[in-house]
Amino acid sequence: MTCSTALAWLLASGRQMVGQFSGISFTLGVVGTAFVLWWIFRRRTAAQSVSLGLPFGLGSATFDLTSKDRIAAWKLHVQLVTRKAALPFDQKNDVIADVLASLFELFQVTRDLLLEMPPTNSSDKHGVAGLIVRVLNMGIRPTLTRWQADYRRWWEAALQRWANASRTPQEIQRDYPRYDELVASLGRMNIELSKFSDQLTLIAAGASPRKIAKATAVPQAPVLTEPAASSIERADENPPPSEPNAA
């Protein structure tokens, strides 16, 4: 074998080895990228356990949340914070008939939201679907059952009276015989739905118990510091001049 032949053989062998190593590196790169993407997807879609205190005195529970649960929680949170049902009742400006109608419409909105979820999520008692159903049936429904029919019948009759033609809805609704009791009930409903809305935000974020405790912590009032003793002493050392005695 001549020197030129040997050199040509070495170059060809080198190119072959480089090609083999390049192919292996490319394959490893593809496999590594696929693994990272799979791990991210699995982390995002895996169920997370979140412990929450439930509104309407329903106790507390731990929920295994999937990405679909978090999306549903966010959608219902948006519905609550943009409706009169979850906002504090303003006796000066709000109309009771509108608030009760908002509560009733919330049922239909929630039903549509549950229908968008897969059957496996909807039947899971430890998921957000079970939480929503419990709040609707055990929290909101009793209030509507108690007040909606009775108040609406009275309200429609009151609007037909000639004496109320020039009065505002806010003035008319105060004539309802059980006005104070109804307003108090709506106030309690607003508070509980506001709590529920806050919990839905935590569910949507997939918050850990530590984040939940931080988010629900009661803010503390600022501590007022007393002035230093030296400042007080200096003020006492220089009393204001006494007024001259009257002649």
Q: Exposed/middle/buried for 153, CB within 10 Å: 0-12, 13-18, 19+?
A: exposed
pLDDT attached to residue 108: 87
pLDDT attached to residue 33: 58
CA atoms within 13 A on the CB side of 123: 3
- Do residue 75 and residue 178 come from a single domain? yes
Residues of the chain with pLDDT under 50: 26, 30, 35-43, 45-47, 208-236, 244, 246-247
- Do residue 132 and residue 92 come from a single domain? yes
Q: Kindly give the residue spans of alpha helices, DSSP state H, lying in the chain.
A: 3-45, 67-81, 96-115, 119-122, 128-135, 141-160, 169-173, 179-205, 209-215, 229-237
Q: Is 32 left (phi over 0), alpha (psi -120 to 50) or beta?
A: alpha
- Do residue 19 and residue 108 come from a single domain? no
- Do residue 33 and residue 89 come from a single domain? no
- Do residue 88 and residue 115 come from a single domain? yes
Please, are residues 206 and 48 in contact by the beta-carbon 8 Å criterion? Answer: yes
pLDDT attached to residue 230: 43
- Evaluate whether residue 127 is within a structural domain: yes
In angstroms, rounded to a whole number, what is the distance separating the alpha carbons of residues 118 and 130? 13
pTM of the predicted structure, to 2 decimals: 0.61
- Evaluate whether residue 229 is within a structural domain: no
Domain that holds residue 79: 48-212
- Do residue 133 and residue 208 come from a single domain? yes
pLDDT attached to residue 98: 94
Q: Kindly give the residue spans of alpha helices, DSSP state H, lying in 46-94.
A: 67-81
pLDDT attached to residue 123: 54
Helix (H, G, I), strand (E, B) or coil at 79: helix
State how many domains the chain has: 2
- Evaluate whether residue 220 is within a structural domain: no
pLDDT attached to residue 20: 56
pLDDT attached to residue 10: 54
- Do residue 150 and residue 104 come from a single domain? yes
pLDDT, tens only, 153-194:
999 999 999 999 999 999 999 999 999 999 999 999 988 998
Q: What DSSP line would sit under 84-103, residue for residue?
A: GGGSPP-TTT--HHHHHHHH
- Evaluate whether residue 124 is within a structural domain: yes
pLDDT attached to residue 181: 96
- Evaluate whether residue 242 is within a structural domain: no
- Do residue 61 and residue 178 come from a single domain? yes
Give 47-51's long-range contacts (Cβ < 8 A, gap of 24+).
48/206, 50/202, 50/203, 50/206, 50/207, 50/208, 50/209, 50/212, 51/209, 51/212
- Do residue 63 and residue 90 come from a single domain? yes
